[in-house]
Chains A and B, each alone.
Chain A
Amino acid sequence: MVPLSWYIVLSALMFSIGVFGFLSRRNLIIIFISIELMLNSVNISLVAFSHYLQSMRGQILVFFVITVAAAEAAIGLAILIAFYRNNPTIKVDEINLLKG
């Protein structure tokens, strides 16, 4: 039986990798993947707690997260493609339309 803490550590590691990827990479696709990584790390911890606490709530929440992640990926990629058509780049440091 794998103890809960292992799952937590795995989840934390995955989340940190996601965060690192999100902050350090320039490619938008990679950034999206990093976000997915973070979301899934959360999912892992949710499922782990769900099993540990013998409650289905965590797993229900996981389904929500997966749905939202799918929607987010779809919309995000759509925006990305729309943007790419106007400016042929997907490097985030060249995208600063929101500059104040």
Chain B
Amino acid sequence: MLKYILIPLLPLLSFIINILFGRNFIKDKAHWIAVPAVAGSFILAVSAFMDVQAGNVINVNIYNWIVSGNFNVTIGFLIDQLTAIMLIVVTSISTLIFIYSIGYMHGDGGYYRFFSYLSLFVFSMLMLVMANNFLLLYFGWEAVGLCSYFLIGFWFHKKSAADAGKKAFIVNRFGDFGFGLGVILVYLTFGSLDYLKIFSNTGIVLGQTINIFGNDIDLITLICLMLFCGAIGKSAQIPLHVWLPDAMEGPTPVSALIHAATMVTAGVFMVARCNPLFSLSHTAMNTVAVVGGVTAIFAATIALVQNDIKRVIAYSTVSQLGYMFLALGVGAYSAGIFHLYTHAYFKALLFLGSGSVIHALHNEQNMQNMGGLKKYMPITYGVFILATLSITGIPPFAGFFSKDEILWRAYSGGELGKFLWLLATVAALLTAFYSWRLIFLTFHGRFRGTHEQEHHLHESPRVITVPLMLLAIGAVAAGWVGIPPLLMEHGDKIGEFLAPVLGHPHGEGSHAEEMMVMGMSILVAAAGWFIAYQMYVKKTDLPMKVGAMFQPLYKLLYNKYYVDELYSRIFVQPVLKLSDKVILGFFDAKIIEGVVNGVPNLIGAFSNKFRKIQTGLLSNYGLVMAIGALAIIGYIIFMR
């Protein structure tokens, strides 16, 4: 089974070759190395998937990574059902994105660099999903963060890109802070970091508590929450979602890669992977669900008013990730992974499609300057429609099945679940609205850009459109492996496939209720379309009026609830000010250096006084000597 090690190693090899030789030798042929490598990974991933389907779960340790005292971590891989699905998602979408990038990045000065980073990104993500222990997961976890840093800051001459890259990394570090401590706590609790050893031994934590500042906290809850911190950062949930929209500074294929195949799905994957731990703590589960639900609606509201085409899609990703966490939080792990899988296809499609638009308009991203593109770019328009139908949850497109399962499982999950279901349904309405708004603003109406742009409008080349069409197939059909039992006996193949890892309970409730949930989701999707159609096709002056009517709300949403400004005000600025003015300017320079230079200065001052004694005149010295001699003689004579 060692051949599966090649799955991550091929992209790594591509990275090493491209980064070392790309600049001087390979140059614009970098894709000849990167694409075969990732395609090879895809083929091996399919083979691994078949193996797993045949019942062979692979768990191998390659070598001991860190050994110290009783601490021992290996480098080893686990390929089970969950990993197999992730492998397929990651490698298939990456392959298409790689091919797409050949066209999209053509002629860019950093072409070789782009493909080497992409390869490293895929390598990191594959390590993340294939790890058989927490520390190797952490390796992949940090490495994808690093690659996102490289790729978001790819056009590093732009300050905004450089800032965004740095922001992504540092915000992620906040999450990783909790995650890393969580990993340590896991080891201290279970004495191992190996998944299978831990998950087969979860019983020992029951009832254990840990004392923090005098409060007893349930150990397993603490572990889960700390791990979840990492997921919040990586998967851009509230309150660490701020990096993802800024990540749009990177080239569009990167956005697609980050949002669909790698990086943001890591958090969802990790929580699903740790489901035996999370299942033990109600508090942690509820936290996951609430964070997910709130993020879903929070991000959706922001997406309503954004004008940057990629930003809208970015917020929709945040929102959809919220759905996934909502699913995980209510115990529907396989539904979460199912949504991850369908989402990957339609989101990659949306991003690459928007990339195609941006490419055609020479890096115009503002939708207010687009419009009427459907007659120029029919293929892009077509795939966009398919992706939108999928994300808004119209049957029988992929998104419908996964979203429906999440909604149903939320609905059947008690009172909190019902509340979250309500949130998610409203979010679905918003999703439909902003998705169609995007379509109408971009492709319908008349063109609002410059004549220069209009003159050059054209459909993208084949190397771009072919991956789009392939992804469109996924966006349409990916959901057919998870048809709810209500509609088709044994239709939920993916759920059954994942059952050995994630369990497979089905929601409780009558068929009527299930039908109602399903009907609602279709209804809100249609309603979203209708409102958007009214506002952006029929009465195009309506958005202005509505915006003016709710001016403060509009501003609040447009400025993303001012979260960035808030963080800057309460974290970034004070820390910088503290370090500059207080620590360096006062404490280090004045107090410590004051003492350090003060003591010698004090001694110097004393010496200055004493040196006056040394007049340099011989007779003075002689006089002192004489007096001294007299004093000694006097002492000897009179005092003894």
Are A and B direct contacts in the complex by CB distance below 8 Å?
yes
Report chain A residues within 8 Å CB of B615. Answer: 96, 99-100
* Minimum CB distance partner of A22 in chain B: B622
The reply to whether B611 and A92 form a contact with Cβ atoms under 8 Å apart is no
Given contacts A23-B623, A23-B626, contact A100 B618 (CB under 8 A): no
Q: What 1/0 mask marks residues of chain B from 6 to 27 whose CB sits below 8 Å from any chain A CB? A: 0000000000000000000000
Query: Per DSSP, are chain B's interface residues mostly helix, strand or loop, or mixed?
Result: helix
Q: What 1/0 mask marks residues of chain A from 1 to 41 whose CB sits below 8 Å from any chain B CB? A: 00000000000000000010011100000010000000000
Q: A22–B626 Cα gap in the complex (Å)?
A: 10
Report chain A residues within 8 Å CB of B612. Answer: 100
Q: What 1/0 mask marks residues of chain B from 577 to 621 whose CB sits below 8 Å from any chain A CB? A: 000000000000000000000000000000000111111111100
The reply to whether A19 and B618 form a contact with Cβ atoms under 8 Å apart is no
CB distance from A37 to the nearest CB of B (A): 14
In the complex, which of the residues B613, B618, B623 contacts A95, with contact meaning CB atoms closer than 8 Å? B618
10 cross-chain pairs, A with B, having the tightest CB-CB distances, nearest first:
A96-B616, A100-B614, A99-B616, A100-B611, A98-B616, A92-B618, A22-B622, A23-B622, A23-B619, A23-B623
Report chain A residues within 8 Å CB of B616. Answer: 95-100
Q: What 1/0 mask marks residues of chain A from 53 to 64 whose CB sits below 8 Å from any chain B CB? A: 000000000000
Known contacts A22-B622, A92-B619, A98-B614; 19 further A-B pairs (Cβ under 8 A): A19-B622, A22-B619, A23-B619, A23-B622, A24-B619, A31-B618, A93-B617, A95-B616, A96-B616, A96-B617, A98-B616, A99-B615, A99-B616, A100-B610, A100-B611, A100-B612, A100-B613, A100-B614, A100-B615
Q: What 1/0 mask marks residues of chain B from 612 to 640 whose CB sits below 8 Å from any chain A CB? A: 11111111001100100000000000000
CB distance from A100 to the nearest CB of B (A): 3
* Minimum CB distance partner of A25 in chain B: B619
* Minimum CB distance partner of A97 in chain B: B616
Report chain B residues within 8 Å CB of A95. Answer: 616, 618
Size band of the A side of the interface? 10 to 19
* Minimum CB distance partner of A20 in chain B: B626
B interface residues, tally (CB under 8 Å): 13
Q: A19–B615 Cα gap in the complex (Å)?
A: 20
Q: A23–B625 Cα gap in the complex (Å)?
A: 10
The reply to whether B626 and A19 form a contact with Cβ atoms under 8 Å apart is yes
Report chain A residues within 8 Å CB of B623. Answer: 23
Q: A40–B615 Cα gap in the complex (Å)?
A: 29
Report chain A residues within 8 Å CB of B618. Answer: 31, 92, 95
Q: A77–B245 Cα gap in the complex (Å)?
A: 91
* Minimum CB distance partner of A24 in chain B: B619
Report chain A residues within 8 Å CB of B617. Answer: 92-93, 96
Q: A31–B619 Cα gap in the complex (Å)?
A: 9
Report chain B residues within 8 Å CB of A24. Answer: 619
Q: A100–B615 Cα gap in the complex (Å)?
A: 6
| Interfacial residues of chain A within 75-100, with CB under 8 A of chain B in the complex | 92-93, 95-100
In the complex, which of the residues B610, B613, B619 contacts A93, with contact meaning CB atoms closer than 8 Å? B619
Q: A31–B616 Cα gap in the complex (Å)?
A: 16
Q: A22–B629 Cα gap in the complex (Å)?
A: 14
Q: A24–B622 Cα gap in the complex (Å)?
A: 10
Q: A19–B621 Cα gap in the complex (Å)?
A: 12
Q: A23–B624 Cα gap in the complex (Å)?
A: 10
Q: A99–B621 Cα gap in the complex (Å)?
A: 11
CB distance from B264 to the nearest CB of A (A): 75
Report chain B residues within 8 Å CB of A100. Answer: 610-616
Report chain A residues within 8 Å CB of B610. Answer: 100
Q: A19–B625 Cα gap in the complex (Å)?
A: 10
Q: A24–B616 Cα gap in the complex (Å)?
A: 16
Q: A92–B614 Cα gap in the complex (Å)?
A: 15
The reply to whether A99 and B626 form a contact with Cβ atoms under 8 Å apart is no
21 contacts between A and B (CB under 8 A): A19-B626, A22-B619, A23-B619, A23-B623, A23-B626, A31-B618, A92-B617, A92-B618, A93-B617, A93-B619, A96-B617, A98-B616, A99-B614, A99-B615, A100-B610, A100-B611, A100-B612, A100-B613, A100-B614, A100-B615, A100-B616
CB distance from B607 to the nearest CB of A (A): 9
Tell which of A92, A93, A100 has the most Cβ of chain B within 10 Å.
A100
* Minimum CB distance partner of A93 in chain B: B617
Report chain B residues within 8 Å CB of A31. Answer: 618
* Minimum CB distance partner of A95 in chain B: B618
Q: A92–B613 Cα gap in the complex (Å)?
A: 17
Q: What 1/0 mask marks residues of chain A from 40 to 74 whose CB sits below 8 Å from any chain B CB? A: 00000000000000000000000000000000000
CB distance from A2 to the nearest CB of B (A): 25
* Minimum CB distance partner of A96 in chain B: B616
Tell which of B610, B611, B619 has the most Cβ of chain A within 10 Å.
B619
Report chain B residues within 8 Å CB of A96. Answer: 615-617
Q: A2–B618 Cα gap in the complex (Å)?
A: 38
Report chain A residues within 8 Å CB of B613. Answer: 100
Q: A88–B545 Cα gap in the complex (Å)?
A: 104
Q: A51–B622 Cα gap in the complex (Å)?
A: 32
Q: A19–B617 Cα gap in the complex (Å)?
A: 16
